[in-house]
Structure 1
Amino acid sequence: MSVFNQPRRRIVVLIILGLAMVLIARLSYLQIVEKKYQRLADANAVTKKIVYPSRGIIFDRKNRSILGNDILYDLVVTPAAVKNIDTSYLCEILEINKEEFIKRIGDAVKRNGRVRPSVFAGLLSAATFSRLQESMYLFQAGFELVQRPIRSYPYKAAANILGYIGEISPGMLKTDKYSDYQSGDYIGLTGLEKTYEDVLMGQRGTRYIIKDNLNRPQGALENGDFDTAAIAGKNLRLSLDIELQVLGEELMRNKIGSIVAIDPSTGGILAMVSGPVFDPNLLTGSSRTKNVSKLFVDPTEPFLNRGIQATYQPGSAMKPLTAIVALDEGLITPDFGFPCHGGYTSCKFIKCLHSEAGHAANLRAAMAHSCNSYFLHLYRMEVDDRKWGGVKKGHAKWKEYMSRFGLGHRLGIDIPGESPGIVADTTVLNKRYNGNWNSCSELYVGIGQGQVAVTPLQMANAMCLIANKGSYFLPHLVESIDLDSSDLLKKFKERHTVAKISDTAYHSVIYGMEDVIEHGTGRGAQMNGIAVCGKTGTAQNRGIVNGKAVDLKDHSVFVAFAPRDNPKIAIAVIVENAGTGATFAVPIANLMMEKYLRDTLPLSKQPIMKRMLETTTIQLSKLETSKIDSLNATTGMLTSEAILKKYFH
């Protein structure tokens, strides 16, 4: 009996025949009609080229492009395709020997295999590219020139903020985080380039090129139907004022330290300078690797972003915060006075700068005269208050206040490497004093010494807190991202309220800080018609000399905000080994605030500017071996005379 007379077998056979017909039809379509897979599989005829997208551009607060893109070329090799080329001539053009040629071919095989392209000579100089381009027909068997977008810095500034890009390392490629990258790709390694890599990088494209039997390009595969376009990265809009940043970097030449300026109303960073400065253009092009090596070993540590990574004892700049704790806890009123006669004697004798009667008669007067005794006593009141039930609980409460003020932990700025600073907790003090300590043991923290160290960013943020009378926004650089609807920047828009004392109480602190400027140690920060509030400080500096801890020249410290009402800028300046706050930190802050608030510098400030530009505070031992000046000179950075003409022409 025929199998087709059996219903069950008939159905099975029909299904098999149907599937066979579908398979035959699909194979016929792929072989005859659809040529995509056939073409792509022909490795001898088709070459896949990566098209690198332009990275996103970065703009300052006034929409000025401060980081853009230029084009250089890489010489790329496919090791398996290298045949019958003039090796000697190629080595001559690249200025390498045959041993180096063989080594690079071997490295390419290790990185990417024999049949995949790999960078042979990256970021060619203009002269090398020109010679290669003329002779490329001699090296087409295995070599090609590939465009590579690189970064350019038209203002020659903000190196530690913007960061730099470099080729992704083999170790990074092994991690899941970088699974979408491949050998030869460039990636953000520091600064904003690293934090916002996913935003800035864009999306790579591909091109398929047909080659003949002599490996010569014949055009796009199927007129480019299989190509994918590269998608440029998104642009960043910063709070940074690039002209203010440039001025700050000019002022910090031949100095080690930092300037951080913030807009108190938003938390947006207006300038963040780390001295000594270097031109970020040193980190692009064919000399990048050589320059990075020189900067990395320089004794002045130019890659250290001192605005967020260096920590200093704030000295008297800490006193406004000590006052706010006492006010918030109700331990004092603005009228509270202390009978200081030239020093503090309750624990040990600690000298004051003033001894005349009444210089600490109330909070405002004590702030204006920077009375050590007054603020040492406030700290002891804060930790010894009976409601805490002991000094250890009292100090824990004080530590909690400092944390709320943004000290002793990372604030969360949007560039990597931020230091938390130091605010000693009870665990540290128990270890230091074997569990036996009281309010006299560490009373120095009330005046910014002892077991406390802060970053310039933290001190500038503390000025925002006072300027806003008890609140601040997390400091940040990026205000917006073009064509971005994510919540990436949401945390920077949220206000942090830390102390709810009355405006009257805040006025005592604020007007006391104004008095510092009007008739105290900060007179050099005065501006006609603008009320400035500030506090000078002298940060103690201990170092190691010949294996022994010794006292070195103090650091110059100044913090401020202006105008007093409706503040628009808060600033912290620290200049290492420069003496008192009034010597360098005050005039530098004054020039920065004047430039930002008035967009110009008056002629009367020219002598101050000249002194700042021409004075070196870097230790001679470091200055003699530093290569910063010589490296910057290669990029044409302005001389002191040219800078003065720019601002006072």
Structure 2
Amino acid sequence: MQYLEGRKYVVQGIFLVVALIFLTRLFFMQVLDGTYKLAADRNTLQRLVQIPYRGLIYDRKDQLLVQNTPVYDLMVVPREVKQLDSARFCALLQIPIEDLRAGLLAAKKYSRVKASPLVQNLTTPEMGSILDKLMDFPGFRLQARMARVYRTPNLAHALGYVGAITPAFLEKPKYAKYQPGENVGISGLEAYYEQTLMGRRGVQYKMVNVRGIEKGKFRDGEFDTLSVAGQDLHLSIDTELQAYGEKLLAGRRGSIVALDPKTGEILAFVSVPSYDPKLLTGKGSGNRYMALLRNPDRPLFNRPLMATYPPGSVFKLVNELVALQLGVVRPGTGFECNQTLVKCTHRHEYPANVSLAIKNSCNPYFYQVMRAAVMRGLSRNKFEDARLGLGQWQKMVKSFGLGEKLGVDVAQEKRGLIPSPEYYDKRRGYHHWNFKSVYSLSIGQGEIGITGLQMANLMAIIANRGYYYTPHFVRGIGSGGPLPQFQERHYTAVDTTLFKYVIPGMQLVVDSRGGTGYLASLAEFGITMAGKTGTVQNAHGFDHATFAAFAPVNDPKIAIAVFIENSGFGGTSAAPAAGLLIEKYLRGKVAPYRRRWEDWIMHGNFTMNLH
């Protein structure tokens, strides 16, 4: 019994010692060391997130396009707001009392203990006018940040814009570190390269008194972290070429995309109607955005990436290359201009070879080319022959980057459509269609749809004789070079030796008498060009006009695609526009006597001058 009684005292002693240790530690934490008290008291310890300096954006000549300017946001912590004099507060901020109530309600819904923005984008003078009086309103403080300034009125659809992060964004894991009131890239390059431009946030812990006056760093900055500025973007865009392209198409609807075939760098990216990027910055940007959104001209619509159209006669080049690869035609193969098959809109000599067929854009010729490629007798059933032949045709066409996203470094890119046998099975029924049902594909009409970017890339492929680099805007980040994914060659399913057979015909289109694209010719300056016109049928109005080309032929420096809606024949409107842009890029200027074409493109009535 004495043994058990002794053990009881030993156990009690152990518990007493442990309790004394805990009590001593607790006394030290709560009384002697103020760290935990301060951390628990939101009135005396503030955690301030340091937003890094957002990276700048330059063009290919290192001209600054996008920079930063300081602005201030009035933040509120709902729990700390005490006996607010609403009338006086609204008079100070010059805001309606309804906005104050709505802002406070939104802040409470987000968090009663965390800061959220009440009034944003205050300028430095506005900040100075309220700073001294703000101490009379506990729970409110000013927070500095950098806002975007767009130095160019052009390139809006590529640059995109920055805006306050929305609740929907905050719910995504990608934006877990963001806080209400912070800016984030919403569209274009600003959104695609958000993590690169944003940099890394820092944090500072400061002690303040109950009136919000700063009393110094907490623990001498022991827990602070420094922010890291975002990296700059160096674009491939030629600002002068971009501005000239937007000038030419002002008042029209359409797109222009120009590439450097040797790199895939985008030189110009025109989408019209457009808007000034400055409209989506500063106070009232939300209202201006809604006005743009409601505008019937759809200025926010990114046509080079999102508008898909039948390519028209430009697509004949792809069909010819596929047929050459399959061996069903040769460069010297000729087909009669048999208009019982399909109407031909051009008067021309007998298309005895591919060059003359391309020059004259002979519809019956290319009808027969595609029929030879698709109806190769792979079975004894014309319906099954069409299915098998079209399936192989589609795979080869898609290798040109058509019907697929190319992977450009902005969002919202559309795939377009290169129809498959399954597509027609679904629409028309299995074995209920054959080549005669889909022959319009042979001349770039029907269900097929491609984007302006894809058409420009097609020209880059032909210029390179069979391969392309993924089109991209950013040629360097910080002091670095191109991203690895933009340095990889993508080859088509057509042998590189076959591309040389379509180029002479494309030269005849531009530089020969009677060529459909002669208004684009720059032969007088010693610049050789290979191109193709297109007139795209439109069931809802006048036909669309397109022209695609590259130059110089033997040392390609630019590939371009021009698409102008409701402008009729491509040789009348799109071709001279492309010629001016290529002249501007290669010569650095447009000859004065050729500027008469500028007025024609901007103001001419194309539909009255159809050939």
**Where do residues 85-484 of structure 1 align in structure 2 (5 Å cutoff)?**
85-113=84-112, 115-124=113-122, 128-133=126-131, 135-139=133-137, 141-340=138-337, 343-345=338-340, 348-356=341-349, 358=350, 360-387=351-378, 390-434=385-429, 435-482=431-478
Deviation of 1:35 after TM superposition, in Å, equals 5.3
**1:596 has 2:595 as partner:** no
Report the Cα distance in structure 2 between the residues aligned to 1:163 and 1:535, rounded to whole angstroms.
32
1:180-234: CA deviation from partner (whole Å, max 9, x where unpaired): 2222222222112222222222222223332223333333334444332222122
Mean CA deviation greater in 245-254 or 277-286: 245-254
Q: Does 1:498 align with 2:488?
A: no
Secondary structure of the 1:586 match is: helix
Structure 1 partner of 2:506: 513
**Contact map agreement 2:75 2:142 (CA 8 A) in 1:** yes
- Residue 574 (structure 2) aligned to one of 566, 585, 600: 585
Aligned match of 2:518:
523
Between the aligned partners of 1:14 and 1:599, the Cα distance in structure 2 is: 93
The CA distance in 2 between the partners of 1:388 and 1:147, in whole Å, is 73
Query: Aligned partners of 2:205 and 2:493: how far apart in 1?
Result: 63
**Partner SS, residue 435 of structure 2:** coil
Q: Is the 8 A contact 1:388 1:394 kept in 2?
A: no
Distance 2:534 2:572 in 1: 11
- Provide the C-alpha distance between the structure 2 equivalents of 1:351 and 1:18, rounded to a whole number of angstroms: 103
> 1:634: which partner in 2?
none
Is the alpha carbon distance of 1:22 and 1:603 closer, same or farther for their aligned partners in structure 2, counting shifts above 3 Å? farther
Distance 1:14 1:600, change over 3 A: farther
Quick one: distance in 2 between partners of 1:49 and 1:165?
A: 22
CA distance in 1, matches of 2:69, 2:593: 41
Structure 2 vs 1, CA of residues 86 and 484 (structure 1 numbering), >3 Å: closer, same or farther? Answer: farther
Superposed CA RMSD in Å reads 3.0
Aligned match of 1:71: 70
Which amino acid is the alignment partner of residue 483 of structure 2?
L
Q: Which runs of 5+ in 2 are unaligned?
A: none
- In structure 2, the residue matched to 1:556 is 545
Gaps of 5+ in 1: 544-551, 619-649
Secondary structure of the equivalent of 1:350? Answer: coil
1-structure distance, mates of 2:34, 2:177: 28
The amino acid of 2:502's aligned partner reads V
Deviation at 1:365, TM superposition (A): 1.0
Residues 13-66 of structure 1, C-alpha deviation per residue, up to 9 Å, x if partnerless?
Answer: 999899889868876875688654443333221222222112222222222222
1:243 and 1:457 map into 2 onto residues whose CA distance is: 20
For the 8 Å contact 2:70–2:124, the answer to whether it is kept is no
Check conservation: 2:310, 2:448, Cα contact below 8 A. Answer: yes
Asked if structure 2 preserves the Cα contact closer than 8 Å seen for 1:255 and 1:617, the reply is: no
Residues 46 and 405 of structure 1: CA distance in aligned 2, closer, same or farther (over 3 Å): same
The 2-side partners of 1:397 and 1:40 are apart by: 68
1:606 to 586, 595, 601: 595
Query: 8 Å contact 1:264–1:570 — kept in the other structure?
Result: yes
Residues 153 and 280, structure 1, Cα contact 8 Å, conserved in 2: yes
Letter in 2 for 1:570: A
* Partner amino acid, structure 2, of 1:188: G
Other structure's SS at 2:121 match: coil
**Helix, strand or coil at the partner of 2:206:** strand
Number of aligned pairs?
A: 598
The structural deviation recorded for 1:415 is: 1.1
Distance in 2 (CA, whole Å) between partners of 1:185 and 1:391 is 56
When residues 125 and 253 of structure 1 are mapped into structure 2, their CA distance, relative to the original with a 3 A threshold, is farther
Change (3 A) 1:129 1:355: same
Q: Secondary structure at the match of 2:545?
A: strand
Over 3 Å counting, the alpha-carbon distance change for 1:444 and 1:28 in structure 2 is same
Whether the aligned pair in 2 keeps the contact of 1:313 and 1:452 (CA below 8 Å) is yes
Q: TM-score, normalised by structure 2?
A: 0.90
For residues 30 and 238 of structure 1, do their structure 2 counterparts lie closer, same or farther at Cα, with a shift above 3 Å needed?
Answer: farther
How far apart, CA to CA, are the structure 1 residues paired with 2:507 and 2:428?
39
Contact 2:252 2:602 (C-alpha < 8 Å) held by counterparts: no
Contact 2:568-2:606 within 8 A present in 1 as well: no
Structure 2 Cα separation of the partners of residues 494 and 25 of structure 1: 66
Q: Partners of 2:468 and 2:253 in 1: how far apart?
A: 28
CA distance in 2, matches of 1:126, 1:104: 22
- Indicate the SS of the match to 2:578: helix
Residue 536 of structure 1: SS of its match in structure 2? Answer: strand
Q: Is the 8 A contact 1:556 1:579 kept in 2?
A: yes
Instruction: Return the alpha-carbon distance in structure 2 between the equivalents of residues 501 and 73 of structure 1.
Output: 59
Q: Distance in 2 between matches of 1:442 and 1:368?
A: 24
2: CA distance, partners of 1:213 / 1:325: 77
Tell me what 1:629 maps to.
Answer: none
Q: Is the 8 A contact 2:310 2:536 kept in 1?
A: yes
Q: Secondary structure at the match of 2:301?
A: coil
How far apart in 2 are the matches of 1:17 and 1:249?
84
Residue 60 (str. 1) matches residue 49 (str. 2): no
For each residue in 1:135-167, what CA deviation from the matched residue of structure 2 results, as whole angstroms up to 9, or x when unmatched? 43443x222221121111112221111211222
Shift of 1:500: 4.4
* Cα distance in 1 for residues equivalent to 2:166 and 2:195: 17
Q: Does the 8 Å CA contact 2:547/2:575 hold for their aligned counterparts?
A: yes
Change (3 A) 1:247 1:22: farther
CA distance in 2: counterparts of 1:207 and 1:258, whole angstroms: 48
The 8 Å contact of residues 252 and 277 in structure 1, kept in 2 or not, is answered as no
**Structure 1 pair 335/34, CA: closer, same or farther in 2 (3 Å)?**
farther
CA gap of 1:123–1:446, structure 2 versus 1, over 3 A, is same
Displacement after TM superposition at 1:71 (Å): 1.6
Identity %: 38
